[in-house]
């Protein structure tokens, strides 16, 4: 073991699993899809991240798991919610940010931060509208690849108003509009505006303060970011890799915790579980 | 036999919690009549004076509503639907009758659905008024007289003023005993956990008042003998809401590394703090307690001259309890579609926050099916105030 200490964050979201390894800098960041067996997959993405960073699992000083699958990571030393982790990760990248919008695969949330700490948050995880799931459904029914939605929407002559707030009904509405000859670009722009409206009404409860940033898969959609900027009446900052802020925050919180423990005079020990594949139903 | 001689207090509470209504079934076999009821607005003193076994109905968060939805639309509050579902499935088949006090629309507009489908020998809708002025007190006394009349007719006995006065004494004593048990949560760490306390509160609402008092006394004795583990870093949480009657939420709070040390729930703090004045006319005393002293959001309070004074009259007890129990954060848990609590959320939240206590507002189902997302919010809140 050298002098450099390594810390890992594992963020198991509804759709993607993210691993970040940090030392004094970000060593590596890796993203893989989340399977139905979270625990097996967390193991796999972690292995890939370790080999990318030329590290062995034993060389990690601490592992923090986050995201909605956080309890399913047997080799983690601690679980911290994605709210706290996103705030920490994003603050380390963009320290001027006070309001975070996170648009994930199956939820969306707003987080208010002050000096890197969460002071308030709101979550929507009851309804697909306003989440990445909505985009997936629409992309599918319009035959446009998910990662092309943003690009296509920028060619819209107008945003077609989508009146249904429910994802299922909105899909019907979009298909009907398509049959009426409405251009695909306009429809996608309309969907972005609909999501932006939902997200704005959620996050508004937090007394929004600038700067505003966006994380999660939604941040990768330029059309959606533009729609959000129009709703919020302010630029919305996008971190270099918006998917990894949760895992990054988890790794940094682990690092902080260990360093504080050492200052307090005791040596933090890793949990006994190695990186073996977890047994299911245990 | 009170069922207490053979087992310790907390074990008895655990059993009454797990097998809800078990004691009522035993007492029914001994020939007692069992009357079920909903809501903190039920004047239990009258039922005690009548010699019946009062059982406050609860729902079952682990059970999906399978029959109730055929009778009640989903706009009815999820708690009421769950309790009704349990009732219609026969979970409370020990009841000889039921009383529904007028708390909210979900209760009073479903009165006929309950009465006609359960078809019990005794039924009463208690038309509790919703304002606290003089005429309402007179009205409350009058409906209490009507209620007493119907009970007397059903039971074939007279409910005397002396019996009511006696019942008032017994319930006030019961409330004092419960508050003494609450006192054991003031230490750091508390001597009794929020999960244990939930079981005690639920057990207490399913048995006659004398048995409840004996049970609480026994538990207080047991708990006093414990030593508080030195664990000073945990945050101290208070929960506010209507009828939360299961350990799922307390467990979520305490498993996340906090202590649940206080509550303002309709089966807990809300009913064990206010007493009935023993020096006044019994019905006057009861009317005043249920209309003016019980702080529940269906009762409109306008005692003050200003908005601030009204807030103080309505929520002042919350600030007191936060100070007494050294609460670090409050969780306001509201059932979906609950208008009365929903209306109050902004005022209550800002009132508590103005005293420097952070508030987590949760709105959710009466069901453990949605517990994962509730847990995430609770954990994030605890991380936020850490």
pLDDT of amino acid A171: 85
The single residue listed with the structure tokens 């969907």 is A191
Percent of all residues in chain A with a pLDDT value above 90, rounded to a whole number: 54
On the question of pLDDT at A242 being above 90, the answer is yes
How much of chain B is in helix, strand and coil states, percent to nearest 5?
50, 10, 35
Give SS3 for A172: helix
In tens, the pLDDT along B351-381 reads 999 999 999 999 988 998 888 889 999 999 9
The shortest C-alpha distance from A257 to chain B (Å) reads: 13
In tens, the pLDDT along A143-193 reads 888 889 999 999 999 998 888 777 788 888 888 888 888 899 999 999 999
The single residue listed with the structure tokens 């030593």 is B227
- Picking from B138, B251, B145, the residue whose alpha carbon sits closest to that of residue B194 is B251
Q: Residues for chain A: how many in total?
A: 282
All CATH 3.30.420.40 domain ranges in chain A, comma separated: 6-84+244-263, 96-237
* A-B C-beta contacts closer than 8 Å: 32
CATH number assigned to the domain with residue range A6-84+244-263, chosen from the 4 options 3.30.420.40, 3.30.260.10, 3.40.50.300, 3.90.226.10: 3.30.420.40
Does the distance separating the beta carbons of B377 and A68 come in below 8 Å?
no
Give SS3 for A6: strand
Domains for chain B: give ranges and CATH numbers.
Answer: 27-159 (3.40.50.11890)
Does the distance separating the beta carbons of B384 and A117 come in below 8 Å?
yes
The shortest C-alpha distance from B81 to chain A (Å) reads: 20
Give yes or no for A245 touching B (CB within 8 A): no
Of B370, B372, B380, the CB nearest to A84: B380
Closest chain B CA to residue A109:
B377
Chain B residues close to A79, C-beta within 8 Å: 379
ipTM of the complex: 0.83
On the question of pLDDT at B6 being above 60, the answer is no
Q: Which residues of B236-264 are buried (b: 16+ CB within 10 A; e: fewer)?
A: bbbbbbbbbbbbbbbbbbbebebbbbbbb
On the question of pLDDT at A280 being above 50, the answer is no
Tokens of A282: 């245990």
What average pLDDT does this structure show over B126-149? 95
pLDDT of amino acid A276: 57
What average pLDDT does this structure show over A51-66? 92
Q: Which residues of B44-55 are buried (b: 16+ CB within 10 A; e: fewer)?
A: bbbbbbbebbbb
Mean pLDDT estimate for chain A = 88
Return the ∠ at Cα B27 (arms to B26 and B31), rounded to 5°: 120
CATH T-level topology, domain A96-237: Nucleotidyltransferase; domain 5 (3.30.420)
Of A84, A120, A125, the CB nearest to B383: A84
pTM of the model: 0.89
């Amino acid at each position: 073991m050298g002098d450099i200490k390594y810390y890992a964050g594992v963020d198991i979201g509804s759709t993607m699993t993210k691993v970040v390894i940090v030392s004094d800098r970000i060593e590596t960041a890796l993203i893989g899809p989340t399977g139905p067996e979270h625990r097996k997959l967390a193991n796999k993405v972690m292995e890939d991240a370790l080999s990318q960073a030329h590290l062995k699992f034993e060389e990690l000083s601490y592992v923090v798991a986050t995201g909605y699958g956080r309890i399913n990571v047997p080799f983690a030393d601690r679980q911290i919610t994605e709210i706290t982790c996103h705030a920490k990760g994003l603050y380390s990248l963009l320290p001027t940010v006070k309001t975070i919008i996170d648009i994930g695969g199956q939820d969306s949330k707003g987080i208010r931060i002050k000096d890197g700490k969460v002071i308030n948050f709101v979550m929507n995880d009851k309804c697909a509208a306003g989440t990445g799931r909505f985009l997936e459904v629409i992309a599918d029914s319009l035959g446009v690849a998910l990662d092309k939605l943003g690009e296509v929407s920028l060619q819209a002559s107008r945003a077609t108003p989508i009146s249904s707030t429910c994802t299922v009904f909105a899909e019907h509405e979009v298909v009907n509009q398509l049959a009426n000859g409405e251009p695909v670009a306009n429809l996608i722009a309309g969907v972005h505006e609909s999501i932006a409206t939902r997200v704005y009404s959620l996050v508004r409860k937090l007394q929004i303060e600038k700067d505003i940033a966006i994380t999660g898969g939604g941040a990768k959609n330029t059309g959606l970011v533009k729609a959000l900027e129009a709703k919020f009446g302010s630029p919305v900052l996008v971190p270099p890799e918006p998917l990894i802020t949760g895992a990054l925050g988890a790794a940094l919180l682990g690092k902080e915790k260990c360093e504080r423990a050492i200052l307090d005079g005791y040596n933090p020990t890793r949990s006994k579980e190695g990186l073996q594949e977890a047994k299911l139903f245990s | 036999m009170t069922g207490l001689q053979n087992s310790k207090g907390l074990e008895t509470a655990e059993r009454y919690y797990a097998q809800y209504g078990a004691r009522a079934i035993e007492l029914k076999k001994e020939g007692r009549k069992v009357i079920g009821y909903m809501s903190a607005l039920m004047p239990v003193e009258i039922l005690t004076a009548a010699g019946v076994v009062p059982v406050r109905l609860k729902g079952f968060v682990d059970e999906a509503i399978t029959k109730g939805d055929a009778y009640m639309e989903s706009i009815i509050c999820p708690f009421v639907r769950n309790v009704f579902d349990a009732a219609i499935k026969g979970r409370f088949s020990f009841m000889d009758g039921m009383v529904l006090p007028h708390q909210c629309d979900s209760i009073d507009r479903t009165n006929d659905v309950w009465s006609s489908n359960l078809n019990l020998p005794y039924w009463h809708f208690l038309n509790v008024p919703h304002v606290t002025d003089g005429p309402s007190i007179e009205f409350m006394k009058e409906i209490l007289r009507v209620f007493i009349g119907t009970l007397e007719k059903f039971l074939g006995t007279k409910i005397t003023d002396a019996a009511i006065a006696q019942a008032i004494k017994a319930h006030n004593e019961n409330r004092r005993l419960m508050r003494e048990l609450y006192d054991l949560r003031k230490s750091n760490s508390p001597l009794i956990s929020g999960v244990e306390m939930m079981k005690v509160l639920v057990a207490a609402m399913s048995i006659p008042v004398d048995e409840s008092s004996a049970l609480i006394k026994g538990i207080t004795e047991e708990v006093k003998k414990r030593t508080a583990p030195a664990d000073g870093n945990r945050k101290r949480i208070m929960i506010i809401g209507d009828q939360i009657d299961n350990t799922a939420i307390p467990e979520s709070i305490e498993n996340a590394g906090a202590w649940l040390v206080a509550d303002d729930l309709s089966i807990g703090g809300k009913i064990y703090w206010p007493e009935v004045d023993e020096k006044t006319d019994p019905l006057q005393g009861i009317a005043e307690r249920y209309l003016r002293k019980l702080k529940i959001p269906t009762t409109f309070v306008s005692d003050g001259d200003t908005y601030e004074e009204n807030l103080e009259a309505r929520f002042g007890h919350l600030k007191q309890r936060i100070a007494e129990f050294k609460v670090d954060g409050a969780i306001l848990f509201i059932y979906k579609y609950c208008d009365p609590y929903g209306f109050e959320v902004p005022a209550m939240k800002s009132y508590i926050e103005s005293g420097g206590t952070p508030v987590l507002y949760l709105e959710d189902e009466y069901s453990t099916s949605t517990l994962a997302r509730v847990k995430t919010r609770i954990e994030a809140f605890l991380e936020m105030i850490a």
